[in-house]
Every structure is written in structure tokens, then in C-alpha cells.
A and B are shown apart, each in its own frame.
Chain A
């Protein structure tokens, strides 16, 4: 259950800050418990179990902000940090856009969000170890799997408390569990690493060891024998986790902070057509049981459903209080980042999408960092399966893909029906008209 002492600690520190000269103050306390087990070659290799607490705050003195955080929750340390922060704030610059959000009432029943599952707390360490061992055992029984980097199982439970000087005081708790395995296939020098993992707020929604093992085996073995292809421009089909990767890049382009700093190619494009009709992109923090669901964001602003792109038209950015004020808009409850940020599902099955491609790339993995929000440019290492005449023909690796997000949004040709809310950024399989594949 929630710990009233920590709520009180937050509220008391707000009062202390006000007394010492802060005009506004906000305190967040997080308490968490983690357990994780790593199994490799059927032996427990590492077991971690710990509980921790942390407090962070920000305060404002005449529009000047300073922040602080501590894992040392002694009154003496916290009060010293407040005094230091007030002194630092005074040396900072006044910023008319800074400050706490206006008070908004929470119209959400926290207990109905489906993000707390007592079954996760009750799961014994032995069962977690068994699940990890079983996942790995199934994988190792497939002769095509050469090595296991290990399987793991983890659980987490935590509570967040937030209090501010505008009278907000709230808390919520959540659980999470995760399970995964990472494998190697192929023969030297052509080795392939791949795996699969699943996570969930609710134990019952977590994929079983059998399901995880099956997906991991499929993912690592389908790359065996991969080759390079000639450099060419072709249609690309994004497997659903790859669509999520593209969306996380899009998030950095519609995140209010990058927009007001003009570090996004989508700055100044509100109400313009930035994608084609198939593209509808939403952030919804209230989907029951989803990874990014929560009652309020890191500033105590209630989360909500925000349509970012509707049938290709840019409708909104995702903002915290500060960037919203800079953009003369309203916070969307995104101070903690994306809540559940997704591309709305279409009607095609992934199989139909692949069938529609005469020659192209089915993209299953990328490595590297080449995505620039300012320009929308994308350039990354890639691997996947080559498509010929609508069929998955052979695996390809050591290639690059490059393109530009502005173009890709306009070039989405097909959207799959395979959307799942497992991660806070998610999307279905999609097909785009053309990207450059760099190879030989």
C-alpha cells in the first residue's frame, strides 16, 4: 500500500521551501522494489534484489528555477539541498514562461487504470527463476541456436508521490514484469544476435516462456545466411517493432521542447498536411493496462488522449507546461515523455503487406544512432529479409537504410492491423514507398 510518510515528506518539504523563500515548489518521491534474475546455460548467473527511494524537487524564486534530487532522504540533507537550490535560483535568469502548472483536477480512478497487479508481488523467486530457465531451455533445444547470451525475468513495483505549492497532492502505484532471451546463430564469421522480450503491467498479460522462446528462435534463425544487396531504392516494410523505432524518432520531432527550440522539421507545421491519409498518430495515457498509462505526468498534470497527426494533418505537439507556454498552447500531460504513443492500426494483415511488394526490404532490425530531428534525416545500419515477388526470399545484413521522415510520412502506403500496447511507443507493420538501401 501507499506509504503516507512519503506523501507527508513531500508535502513538508514543499512547506519548508516556501518558508525559505521559494515562490513555488514541487516535490516528487519515488519508492521502488526490483527483482531480476539472469540465467545462462541453465544456471542462475545473477540475482538482484533491492529497494530504493529517491526524491527530486524543483523550485522557483521570482520566475527563476533550480532543481535537485537525492537518494539520501535525511531531513538535514534535503533541507540543505533546498537552501542551496534557492541560492542557485537567485543566480539564474528570470523566465516568464517558467513555473508550476495551473491546478487541474484529476478525473481518473487510479485503481481502474489497470497498472497494479498484486500477482506480480506474490510471484515467488523460484517461479521467476524457473520461467527464465524454461525460456532458455526451449531455445537451446533448437539445433540452429548456437549460443545463449542468457534469459532473464524481472519484476518491479513502485509508488510515485507528487506534491506542489499550488495545492496538488497525488500518488499512484504500478507494477511491471518482463521476460526475455537473447541468442546467437550462424557460423563464424557470419554470426547473428537476436532475441525477444516481453513486458507487461499485469502478470497474466506476459507472454509465456514458450511464446517468448518461439519468437526469439524465429528472429535469430531467420537471419542465417544473410548477404549484402546492391545499393538501390526500394519499398521498405517495417516490422512492427521497427515502426515503433520510427515513432520514437517522430516523438523527438513533435516533443514541444524540440519544437520551440526549432530543433524539429515539424516546427511551424501545425494544421499542415505532413503525412498521407493513412497516418493517424495518437498519445493516450489512459489506456487500461498499457505500459505508459498513468493518472498524471511528472508535473502533476492529468494525462489525456491527444491526437498528434490526424489523417496526415499535424494537429498537436506533445508538451509539458513550459514548452506549452513557449508555444502559446496547453500542456498535453507529457512532461514524463510519451505516455502511450502509437500509430493507429490499419486494415491490412502483415502478410498482405509483404505480398504487395515486388522487390524490397522487410526491415527487422537497425543499429546505430543516425536520426536527426532538425532535418528528419534517417541513416542507420539495418538487417532484415529481402522480398521478391511478394515472398520473403532471403536474409540481408550489413546494409544501411536512409531516407527522411518528412518523406516517409507522406509515403506510407499500407498500415497493418497488428497494433499491440506492450511498450509506451508502439505501431503496427507499415509499408513505405521508397528508401535507399546501401549495400555493395
Chain B
């Protein structure tokens, strides 16, 4: 019966092979140029896994005494196109298909996955995951009842999975040409477009059945400028859970190319920073990475449940200057970290972490919420069907204050202004570093010389208490966050802000 479904579909898809390359999808576009938002039918029709089979697999997963079982079906197509040395050098289409099966018992997780969706193989995988609980019980699995999504936080109109290659090449070329022609000292440019569409269906032993179709795209340009033996590289990128319209209306490829060119050229005249402690202004352009790394991670529930986060015993306490409010909101539309539903089937909520300096909440997944006896808030995410979900950020925001960026810079006599970053890292004890790609010296209340080779270093406690002024010019930084070996698409937004003191590393 299962294979009938599959063969039946394949016959249909075989007939459409000749239809060309505009789509590798298994759905047709809707009349308005968007795609269907429910993928349950995809797994049933295309891969032959009907809800009644899912229920049987869940029963097998619980057959050794587990308390909770869950299936995570994923079908993802990732496309990329890259331009380098004035030509389109490479394009790829990558298909990822599989199911992850999780069994929970107390604090324990059993996990297995397979890329073969035959009933027999899923059954074996379920038994492997089941083995975390060594016992026997008559499994109680509720009948699966499909929950339909009530909100839509992605722009599924003209998604990139449906855009033909020549249109993508035009966007890439526009960014490339803008970077190349920005200045005659630009010697090398790269530009690429990466898009994906991820179909997810989640079923669990409590009877939940929910699906989500998630688009994601990012257009990137990098440019290297060279002058008198000095070389520097600048970057520009933009994207999110958006369609083609984004690059026509919001952020044109030419702007992305110019950002890369401008950064590379500016760095040619850059100096090294003053090393040591000094006032530091974090510009709004990309400093969201600081909010994500230094502030966000210790509020993820797993570290607090395990008491490894410094905040595990500080709920309700003042942990920051009272002007500081920080939250994570996966429901902001169309951002890189936006989610209709998390990877455990929970509908996400805007979740306050710090309100007026006071610790008020953690980012929860199912396991931590249950063990901490707190409410889930839709922050259980995973890299793919090969990974168990863990608490993660999505769109993290430092709320705006009442200063202006000009007030902030004016207030610094001698200090450092951080504008773009190569990355940041924080360990569980709260120590972090950020590598600044481009910054500026602040002298007598003005940005003066561009700066390269700077590192910001400190601890999260220190930074939360050193935030002295917050402006109102919020911008979002696009990132890919790594935790426990899993990556996740995120954004973080912040206005320009001032830290009273922070250590800046550089050469003497």
C-alpha cells in the first residue's frame, strides 16, 4: 500500500521531467504566484507516509517505556549559484530527505534518523530510539489530528525555489558589477545566491500533526581591494524568508555590491585600534551579533536547566542596567530567523528575556520546559532531521531607547566604534569575543579614522551592566549560529548603543 502511493506519484513526476528546470518542487504554483503552505500532503503523497503509518511508528517508538515520541519529517532543497572572476562558475541543487525519531524519558533522549522512508526502515529507527527506555509499556499514542497554521510569517510569493536560473544570475551579476565598479582599486569580487525551501511535518504521541513550508534566501557579495601592497576584503549581504520582491523593493543587489566595495576600500586606509579598556559604541548596522552572542545564549533554557548558565538562579533579579530590554520574537515577519512553528511543533511567541534590566524569561524547548515546569515558547530548533531539537534563538532584539546615534557618538571623547564583524563566540561561562572587520576611532565626539584588526572581549554580565545609552535606529544582522554542532539561521537586531568600558584588543 505504501509503495503504491510512491510509485503512483513517481509516474506522475516522471511525466513532468520534460517540463524544464524552473522547479524541482513537487507542488504546482498557486494562481497568485505563491506555493502551498502545507506539506503533510507532500509526505503522504510523494513519500507514501500517511498519518496512520506515523501513528504506528510512534507506538513502536514508545514500546519500551518511553514517555513521549516524535517524528520530524524533512524535505529540503537548497540551491546555490556563485559568480567569481566575471563568470558563473558553479551552481548546485541539494536534496535532503529524511525523518528523525525522538523518544523522551525523564531527562533522557533517544534519537535515531533515516533517509529511507520505507515503513520497515522507520520501524527499525523507532526501535533504536526507543532503546533509551529499557522496559516495556503499552504505548499510548493519541490519534493524530492535524493543526493548521493560523499565521504566516514568511513571504511565499515568488519564492526562490520557483525562480528560474537566469533571473537568479541577473541578481548575482547586478551585485557583482556594483562591487567591481565601485572603485578601481577593487581587484576581486565574488557574488552568490543561496536559497532553500524546507518542508517539515511533525507528529507526536500527544496527537499533534503539523506542517510548515519555510523559504530562505541570501544574496552575498564580497570584494577585495588592493593598494600599495595592502589588501582588504569587504562584505555585503541581505535576505530572509522572502521572495523575489525583496530584491526589487527592499534591498537591491546593487546596494549589496556597493556595501562590499565600500567596506573593502575604506579598510585600505584603516589603522589598528588603541588596545585596552575604553568606551565602545556599537553601531546598529551589524551589532546585533553582540546581542545574540553575548546576551542571548545564556538565556537559552538548557544551560539554565543544567545550571551551567550564569543566569540559572537569577529569575526576577536585576541583571542589567534598567534601560535594557531584550526579547526574542520568531513571529516578526520575513526575517531570517522567523518561524510559523518551531521544530517540535510549538507555535512560537515573542519571549521577553530581560525587561527593564530584570531577568523575566528563558527560551524554551519541550524538554527543558517540562523539566523546569515552565511554558514552552516555541524555541526548539534543529539543524535537520539528523539532529535532536535544542533551545535556540530566532530573531533576537534589544529594544530601542531614547537617545540618537549622534548623541551617543558625541558623548565619547576617546573610544572605539564597531560597525561590521567577522563573527563572535561566547562560552557557557559568559566570556565572549567579537572580531570587528571595520570600526572607527572616536575622537572628541566624532568618528575619525577607520580601524581594522580589532577584537572586543568581555563577559555578558559586564556588558549588560555597562550599557549606558541606547538609540532608536534598530537594524538586523543576518547570521548563522552554531551550538552543540548544529547551525541555525538567525537574526539579531539592535539600535546604536554605548558601553561605558570594554576591552579592545589590537596591536600596539
Contact = CB atoms under 8 A, between A and B. Distances in A.
Interface of A: 40, 43-54, 65-74, 76-77, 79-81, 83-85, 87-89, 91-95, 98, 147, 149, 184, 186, 188-189, 191-193, 228, 231-233, 261-263, 265, 367-370, 372, 374-375, 377, 379-381, 397-404, 436, 438-440
Interface of A is mostly: strand
B461 interface: yes
Contacts of A265: 231
B14 interface: yes
Contacts of A71: 95-98, 115
Nearest to A370: B435
Contacts of B508: 231-233, 436
Given A65-B90, A81-B95, A46 B111 contact: yes
Given A400-B457, A402-B455, A52 B114 contact: yes
A370 B328 CA distance: 27
B453 interface: yes
B233 A263 contact: yes
Interface in B107-134: 107-115, 125, 128-129, 131-132
Chain B's interface size range is 35 or more
8 contacts: A52-B386, A65-B89, A93-B89, A263-B231, A265-B231, A374-B224, A398-B431, A402-B505
B426 to A, nearest CB: 8
B445 interface: no
A400 B308 contact: no
B453 A49 contact: no
B307 A147 contact: yes
B457 A95 contact: no
Nearest to B94: A69
A147 B306 CA distance: 9
Given A84-B21, A231-B275, 20 more contacts: A44-B108, A49-B112, A50-B128, A52-B98, A76-B13, A76-B14, A81-B24, A87-B165, A92-B87, A149-B428, A367-B433, A370-B453, A372-B422, A375-B231, A379-B435, A381-B432, A398-B503, A402-B506, A402-B507, A404-B507
B74 to A, nearest CB: 10
B161 interface: no
Given A70-B94, A71-B97, A368-B425, A50 B435 contact: no
B435 A380 contact: yes
Given A44-B108, A52-B115, A374-B231, A262 B188 contact: yes
Contacts of B17: 79-80, 83
B505 A188 contact: no
Contact of A47 (B85, B110, B113, B169): B110
A401 B132 CA distance: 45
Contacts of B230: 375
B454 interface: yes
A377 B453 contact: yes
B505 A184 contact: no
A315 B452 CA distance: 30
A404 B231 CA distance: 14
Contact of B503 (A52, A232, A380, A439): A439
A300 to B, nearest CB: 19
A47 B111 CA distance: 6
Interface of B: 10, 13-14, 17, 20-21, 24, 84-85, 87-98, 107-115, 125, 128-129, 131-132, 165-166, 169, 187-188, 190, 224, 226, 230-233, 272, 275-277, 306-308, 310, 386, 388, 422-435, 452-455, 457-459, 461, 503-508
B132 A68 contact: no
A68 B78 CA distance: 10
Contacts of B457: 368, 381, 398-400, 438
Nearest to B131: A47
A92 B388 contact: no
Contacts of B110: 46-47
A188 B311 CA distance: 11
A72 B10 CA distance: 13
A79 B96 CA distance: 15
A87 B79 CA distance: 14
Contacts of B272: 402
Contacts of B307: 147
Contacts of A368: 423-425, 433-435, 455, 457
B388 A401 contact: no
A439 to B, nearest CB: 7
Nearest to A81: B93
A263 B224 contact: yes
Contacts of A397: 431
A318 B174 CA distance: 33
Given A49-B112, A262-B224, A189 B459 contact: yes
A403 B275 CA distance: 12
Contacts of A48: 111-112, 388
Contacts of A69: 92, 94-95
B91 A88 contact: yes
B432 to A, nearest CB: 7
A193 to B, nearest CB: 5
A84 B504 contact: no
B108 A192 contact: no
A189 B310 CA distance: 8
Most buried by A among B20, B128, B433: B433
A367 B430 CA distance: 12
A352 B86 CA distance: 53
B506 A88 contact: no
Nearest to B18: A83
A263 B113 CA distance: 40
Given A49-B112, A368-B433, A374-B232, A401 B505 contact: yes
B507 A403 contact: yes
Contacts of B20: 87
B52 to A, nearest CB: 23
A50 B233 CA distance: 41
Nearest to A54: B115
B93 A402 contact: no
Contact of B454 (A72, A95, A379): A379
Contacts of B21: 84, 87-88
B95 A369 contact: no
A399 B431 CA distance: 11
B108 A43 contact: yes
Nearest to A83: B17
A369 B424 contact: yes
A439 B276 contact: yes
Contact of B132 (A44, A53, A261): A44
Given A49-B128, A91-B166, A403-B507, A67 B424 contact: no
A50 B503 contact: no
Contacts of A149: 306, 308, 428
A68 B14 contact: no
A2 B434 CA distance: 46
Given A149-B306, A370-B453, A379-B505, A67 B98 contact: no
A380 B24 contact: no
A377 B454 CA distance: 10
A46 B14 CA distance: 41
> Among A44, A92, A439, which residue has the most Cβ atoms of chain B within 10 A?
A92
